Chains A and B, each alone.
Chain A
Amino acid sequence: MSSILRPDEVSRYSRQMILPQIGSEAQTKLKNTSVLIVGCGGLGSPSSQYLVGAGIGKLGLVDGDVVETSNLHRQVIHTEKNVGKPKAESAFEFLRSLNSNVEFEKLQLRISRANAIDIIKRYDIVLDATDNAVTRYLLSDACVICEKPLVSGAALRFEGQLTVYNYDETTPCYRCLFPTPPPLGAITNCSEGGVIGPVPGMIGTLQALEVIKIAIGIRPSFAGRMLLFDGLDGIFRTVKIRGRKKDCASCGENPSITTDLIDYNEFCQTPACDNSGGQSLKILTPEERIFALEYKNIIDDGIKHVLIDVRPENEVNVVKLDQSINIPLKKIQSNEGLQKVKELIENSNADKLIVMCRRGNASQIAVRFLKENLKSDKVEIKDIIGGITAWSQQVDPKVPVY
């Protein structure tokens, strides 16, 4: 694949072409470069925009999810009218209208062990804009096998990270840095931890810049280095990271990971998914729990009870049930919290204590804790299955899901 620039392309890209580092030679290289963007979300939105704007030759857009309203604050290539539409399709619509010279491949699928190598080998550079550890290991291993540079970004809360893996024989892969996946409880995604839009915006934009440099033959700044961005304190920090590890299972001298790849869900002990609401805990027996509709009956029948919401205060401020009393899980598990629960029960003279949270996990921990520590057989303690999310979906759609 090689083509030269047309006059309209020269005019269009003139502002970058007059840079001494670009010129017609580098612009032509861009036109002859293909980039695979995995994840058309918070990082994929800005990176794809700038690559398409810059005149990249071909862009592959991988995403198996659909656009959700809660994506729009940061995933700015998607629009209100595309809520419910596959993200790969929605991204394509926007990007094609931005630059019709670019060739697109829509890949409306979840990248997996089964398809990763076939897809990646068709592209020159891979941009990791995914939202979970499982897919990050998969992409890294597949890029090592296919010998492609991997421009990797991540964002959460007010913080972002950026590095380029597998750029040359000195740069590490993701596995060199993180040979062992983190334990389940240590992984937080945007759906759980929250994220401010401009942070993935920044990191994704820098990913596009690194891709452009690689495409035109300039060494990327973040090969062998990692950018740490703290958007709350306004701190940019670049750190030097290790080189390729000789004993790396993926890019080392005797790799154990080959073209068959591995079972990544098993390796990380978690499925590759950000928006399902995480894993479901099974702490309580079915008898210790009630459905949202059963709680509605308790209200409708005027049964005396105390409703405790154990979510963090900031989430309660977003949405709550009026009658609920907020005692965050952490506080419940302290003497002060326990004392407060005792007082609530005594003052209300209720013999029912209902505990709720966002999705019905933390509330189970709270119920178990309260049962073990209140040691009261006068009060029945149960939690609401599915939490306020289930309440919204099954009882009151006016309560927003977040």
Chain B
Amino acid sequence: MSNLRVAVEFSSGAELLFDGCKKKELLLPIADENDVWTLKRLIQWLKDTMLTEKPELFVDGDRLRPGILVLVNDVDWELMGELEYQLQSDDKILFISTLHGG
């Protein structure tokens, strides 16, 4: 059993869903070489282990709730396969809420 090291970051208000946490390094357990961490799995994991606010402010079923953007190493996750993207070692996953104020 080994670990996959990734950093998750929350900004533009998304951190308020995680008790103010803006950045955290995670060691995600990997059972064997066929065990992959997709963004979908990470989101569920974050929901189950780190989320401190109501789940519907972060997820919508097994998807992310509308209005949150995910960036994989500063690139829109839409360009990376969205929920199916497979996390790589040292990836930096950033969750941001869209702002509307002005």
Q: Which A residues are within 8 Å of any B CB, using their own CB?
A: 39, 41-44, 128-133, 136, 153-157, 159-161, 177-183, 185-190, 193, 195, 200, 228, 230, 233, 237-243, 274
Q: Is the CB of A159 within 8 A of B76?
A: no
A270 CB to nearest B CB, Å: 10
Q: Is the CB of B66 within 8 A of A180?
A: yes
A-contacting 9-mer, from B31-39, B42-50, B83-91, B93-101: B93-101
B82 CB to nearest A CB, Å: 10
Q: Given A186-B57, A228-B96, do A41 and B69 touch, yes or no (CB 8 Å)? A: no
Interface centre among B57, B76, B79, B94 (most CB of A within 10 A): B76
Separation of A346 and B4 alpha carbons in the complex (Å) = 53
Separation of A183 and B69 alpha carbons in the complex (Å) = 14
Interface centre among A128, A161, A186, A233 (most CB of B within 10 A): A186
Q: Given A186-B67, A240-B79, do A161 and B101 touch, yes or no (CB 8 Å)? A: no
The 8 Å CB contact of A129, one of B13, B78, B102, is B102
A295 CB to nearest B CB, Å: 31
Q: Count A/B pairs, Cβ under 8 Å.
A: 107
Separation of A206 and B75 alpha carbons in the complex (Å) = 21
Contacts of B54 in A (CB 8 A): 185
Closest chain A residue to B60, Cβ basis: A183
Contacts of B68 in A (CB 8 A): 182
Separation of A182 and B12 alpha carbons in the complex (Å) = 14
B residues contacting the other copy or chain, number (CB 8 A)? 27
List B residues 57-76 near A (Cβ within 8 Å). 57, 60, 65-69, 71, 74-76
Separation of A183 and B94 alpha carbons in the complex (Å) = 21
Q: Given A156-B100, A161-B96, 10 other A-B contacts at CB below 8 A? A: A130-B102, A178-B98, A182-B98, A183-B56, A185-B56, A186-B97, A188-B100, A193-B101, A239-B76, A240-B79
Q: Is the CB of A159 within 8 A of B13?
A: yes
The 8 Å CB contact of A156, one of B74, B78, B99, is B99
A36 CB to nearest B CB, Å: 15
Separation of A241 and B22 alpha carbons in the complex (Å) = 21
Q: Is the CB of A190 within 8 A of B101?
A: yes
B35 CB to nearest A CB, Å: 29
Q: Is the CB of A228 within 8 A of B12?
A: yes
Contacts of B60 in A (CB 8 A): 183
The 8 Å CB contact of B102, one of A155, A239, A241, A242, is A155
Contacts of B22 in A (CB 8 A): 233
Instruction: Name 10 A/B residue pairs within 8 A (Cβ), A-sorted.
Output: A44-B102, A156-B101, A159-B12, A159-B13, A180-B66, A182-B98, A200-B102, A228-B11, A239-B75, A243-B79
